[in-house]
Chains A and B, each alone.
Chain A
Amino acid sequence: MQNPYIPYPVVVDKIITEVDTKDIKTFRFKFVNPEDEQKYAYIPGQFGELSIYGKGESPIGIASSPTQKGYVEFTVQKAGVVTTALHEMEEGTVMGIRGPLGNSWPLDFLAGKNIVIVGGGFAFTTLRSLINYMIFEDNRKRFGNITIIYGARTPGLLLYKDELAEWGKRTDLNLNVTVDKGDANWKGREGFVPTVCKEVAPSKENAVAVICGPPIMIRFTLPVFFDLGFSKENILTSLEMRMKCGIGKCGRCNVGSKYVCKDGPVFSLAELDKLTPEY
């Protein structure tokens, strides 16, 4: 019986500071035992428990794509005890990760459809996983048009800047990056995510919108997609709740009869409508 509470040992292989405020970093982990990478086979949209002995665990979405072999990445904001300890770590340190946990973005449902990705601020991590998965050369033909709308408050708060630049050069996706307010060097778009969604106006035809962001962004973005004619079945999001076990036992992350850790974190709006509004 595999004990789901025991983390796989990993080495902090690389730490990338993502934002100019330096409080969001991407951690690249390599498995201490190479065979564990197989056991950690994940799907975009899943999360892991980052486990620091002596500090505790924190549930974080997986930011890398399973098409990226040899490592797994998590983008983490410095906030509480565990994430602060993580931010203080140095490359080469050994720690643990548990998982992969939760359902995932529904890849079979997304296959063959036009995909609209909408991300706000720091909530772009598992969307990045999904994008890198879809544009991977063996997978790209399984998906239709890919439209990405990604916004942050300032240019310095955009995540994955190098990747955004790469994606911008591609002809097989439509990338729209926006900031609430630019600076002297910013040549891109300015404006809030909901406004940009309205301007880009992705077609609802055979399309699914995958939306992650702060509650305020979600609240104003959803009406835009309703106006565009997207059905609640075709709008997906990912929930966050306080978690401990990550496997539906410790009892704190339920929304009605569903555990966000085990039955989520990904839900369609139609599914969320059936749950109690307690999240």
Chain B
Amino acid sequence: MEKRLIKKDALAGIAKKMAEKLHVWAPVKKEDNVLFAPLKKDNEPFFAYLNSKNAPKNVFFPHTETMMKYTRTPNGMVFSSEENKADEAVLFGVRPCDAHSFVLLDKLFDQEKYKDSYYISKRQNTTVISLACVKPPYSSCFCTSVDGEPVSADGADILLTDIGSDYLVEFITSKGEKLASYFGETKADTVAETKKNEIAVKAKDAIKSKIPAHEIKPILDKNFDNPFWNTIHGKCLACGTCTYMCPTCHCFDISDEVKGSDGVRIRSWDSCMFPLFTKETSGHNPRSSQKERWRQRTMHKFKYYVDMFNAIACVGCGRCVMSCPVNIDIRKIVEDISKL
């Protein structure tokens, strides 16, 4: 597909121009963090960022969302409306690891039999513009160990790569091409392409943190009862931060809220790290301690997801590594498992 060049200082202007017509999510500074937020008149996109504090999965799978509404009648509460509309949107400037997470989440939410229309409608109506990592943002980045690359169009409709004075703009899908008019007229030449390819190779080499993520599947297949599982959870606070930060964690709770004569059914992120997550009414809990919960989290990412969808449910963003208050490091867990 087509490739163009834009001047580096033009990027913020393009995002703001899009925001005049479309719902644009872009990285913006909020106190000390960079977060993806809707671009409005009172905020500025900030593209010189490393990665956003939170994964942008909330664009398709909000932290809390209304599934439907209901109303009190003389016969009790009755269904009143389904809440399932998605505006045309652009997710502008996500890192390739996070764009990769969308491909992984699609496998779960967009299955043949049960389609999650809340996720799918937002996903279908959103154009993803990835901003390649020409230098690895953090020393904890390990995307190359989990099928990712710092300069990658996986999951993106448009890929932007900083090639010095310009961004190379690659339209990856026809959905991305529909936004081509925002990106000027300058066609990219082969020089720009060569430069981008060199940058991609260098960026890949610069990812120094490597884990044997692919090697541990057969080990996990055989080691559900290994005493190793006693060694991870001792210091875990069960805060759930790792799961909330994770771009691929998708577990949720469904609950009802009533106010006056109206009510809503909502879904909110939940976490396998929480004791109540699997606790049954009888009191029985199949994952009764933090040991079982850590085994579940590890197995889910590196075995169960592979069994179900033939893909590792980790994109190597390193958010869980950086955010864990007690420094539990998934890279070390994977490393240790590889030696079992």
How many Å lie between the Cα of A215 and that of B256 in the bound state?
A: 32
Q: A residues 140-174 with Cβ under 8 Å of B? A: none
Query: A261 to nearest B CB, angstroms?
Result: 10
Instruction: Kindly supply a per-residue 1/0 record for chain A positions 233-251, scoring 1 wherever the CB is within 8 Å of any chain B CB and 0 otherwise.
Output: 0000000111011011111
List the one stretch of B109-117, B202-210, B234-242 in contact with chain A: B109-117
How many Å lie between the Cα of A248 and that of B251 in the bound state?
A: 10
Q: A5-B67, A257-B303 are in contact. Are A244 and B254 (CB under 8 A)?
A: yes
Residues of B within 8 A of A276 (CB): 224, 299
Q: A residues 71-97 with Cβ under 8 Å of B? A: 79-80, 83, 89, 92-96
A-B pairs under 8 A by CB, number: 124
Within the complex, which residue of B79, B109, B254, B277 is in contact with A56, where a contact is CB–CB below 8 Å?
Answer: B254
**Does A181 reach chain B (CB closer than 8 Å)?**
no
**Does A270 reach chain B (CB closer than 8 Å)?**
no
**How many residues belonging to A are interface residues under a CB distance threshold of 8 Å?**
43
**Does B278 reach chain A (CB closer than 8 Å)?**
yes
Q: A54-B263, A57-B254 are in contact. Are A251 and B75 (CB under 8 A)?
A: no
Residues of A within 8 A of B232 (CB): none
**Does B87 reach chain A (CB closer than 8 Å)?**
no
**Does B308 reach chain A (CB closer than 8 Å)?**
yes
List the one stretch of B52-60, B126-134, B142-150, B280-288 in contact with chain A: B280-288
**Does B138 reach chain A (CB closer than 8 Å)?**
no
Query: B79 to nearest A CB, angstroms?
Result: 6
Q: B residues 195-230 with Cβ under 8 Å of A? A: 224
Query: B314 to nearest A CB, angstroms?
Result: 15
Q: Are the CB atoms of A95 and B76 closer together than 8 Å? A: yes
The residue of chain B having its C-beta at the shortest distance from the C-beta of A253 within the complex is B278
Q: Are the CB atoms of B111 and A248 closer together than 8 Å? A: yes
Q: A53-B256, A257-B304 are in contact. Are A252 and B270 (CB under 8 A)?
A: yes
Residues of B within 8 A of A262 (CB): 113-114
The residue of chain B having its C-beta at the shortest distance from the C-beta of A1 within the complex is B117
How many Å lie between the Cα of A66 and that of B332 in the bound state?
A: 53
Q: Are the CB atoms of A242 and B280 closer together than 8 Å? A: yes
Q: Are the CB atoms of B82 and A250 closer together than 8 Å? A: no
Residues of A within 8 A of B270 (CB): 250-252
**Does A256 reach chain B (CB closer than 8 Å)?**
yes
Q: Are the CB atoms of A53 and B251 closer together than 8 Å? A: no
Q: Are the CB atoms of A54 and B254 closer together than 8 Å? A: no
Instruction: Kindly supply a per-residue 1/0 record for chain A positions 1-20, scoring 1 wherever the CB is within 8 Å of any chain B CB and 0 otherwise.
Output: 10111110100000000000
**Does A186 reach chain B (CB closer than 8 Å)?**
no
Residues of B within 8 A of A138 (CB): none
Q: Are the CB atoms of A249 and B254 closer together than 8 Å? A: no
**Does A199 reach chain B (CB closer than 8 Å)?**
no
How many Å lie between the Cα of A256 and that of B73 in the bound state?
A: 43
**Does B180 reach chain A (CB closer than 8 Å)?**
no
Q: Are the CB atoms of A244 and B292 closer together than 8 Å? A: no
Q: Are the CB atoms of B70 and A1 closer together than 8 Å? A: no
Query: A176 to nearest B CB, angstroms?
Result: 27
Q: Are the CB atoms of B251 and A251 closer together than 8 Å? A: yes
Q: Are the CB atoms of A250 and B115 closer together than 8 Å? A: no
Query: A112 to nearest B CB, angstroms?
Result: 28
The residue of chain B having its C-beta at the shortest distance from the C-beta of A80 within the complex is B281
Q: Are the CB atoms of A53 and B224 closer together than 8 Å? A: no
How many Å lie between the Cα of A156 and that of B265 in the bound state?
A: 38
Query: B154 to nearest A CB, angstroms?
Result: 22
Query: B294 to nearest A CB, angstroms?
Result: 13
Q: Are the CB atoms of A279 and B286 closer together than 8 Å? A: yes
Q: Are the CB atoms of A79 and B282 closer together than 8 Å? A: yes
Residues of A within 8 A of B224 (CB): 256, 276-277
Within the complex, which residue of B111, B118, B252 is in contact with A251, where a contact is CB–CB below 8 Å?
Answer: B252
Q: A251-B251, A251-B252 are in contact. Are A54 and B77 (CB under 8 A)?
A: yes
Q: Are the CB atoms of B255 and A56 closer together than 8 Å? A: yes
How many Å lie between the Cα of A96 and that of B80 in the bound state?
A: 12
Q: Are the CB atoms of B251 and A4 closer together than 8 Å? A: no
How many Å lie between the Cα of A80 and that of B277 in the bound state?
A: 15
Q: Are the CB atoms of A94 and B277 closer together than 8 Å? A: no
**Does B179 reach chain A (CB closer than 8 Å)?**
no
Residues of A within 8 A of B77 (CB): 52-54, 94-95
Q: Are the CB atoms of B108 and A249 closer together than 8 Å? A: yes
**Does B33 reach chain A (CB closer than 8 Å)?**
no
How many Å lie between the Cα of A6 and that of B116 in the bound state?
A: 11
Residues of B within 8 A of A57 (CB): 254
Q: A5-B68, A257-B303, A278-B286 are in contact. Are A249 and B250 (CB under 8 A)?
A: yes
**Does A198 reach chain B (CB closer than 8 Å)?**
no
**Does B84 reach chain A (CB closer than 8 Å)?**
yes
How many Å lie between the Cα of A7 and that of B79 in the bound state?
A: 8
**Does A189 reach chain B (CB closer than 8 Å)?**
no
Can you list 22 residue pairs at the A/B interface with Cβ under 8 Å?
A1-B115, A4-B114, A5-B265, A6-B79, A7-B79, A9-B79, A53-B77, A93-B75, A94-B75, A241-B278, A242-B277, A242-B278, A245-B252, A251-B250, A251-B251, A252-B277, A254-B296, A256-B224, A256-B299, A257-B307, A262-B113, A278-B292
Residues of chain B at the chain A interface (Cβ within 8 Å): 67-68, 70, 73, 75-79, 82, 84, 108-109, 111, 113-118, 120, 224, 250-256, 258, 263, 265, 267, 270, 272, 277-282, 286-287, 292, 296, 299-300, 303-304, 307-308
The 10 closest A-B pairs by CB, nearest first: A251-B251, A53-B77, A257-B307, A247-B114, A80-B281, A53-B70, A54-B258, A257-B304, A79-B281, A94-B75
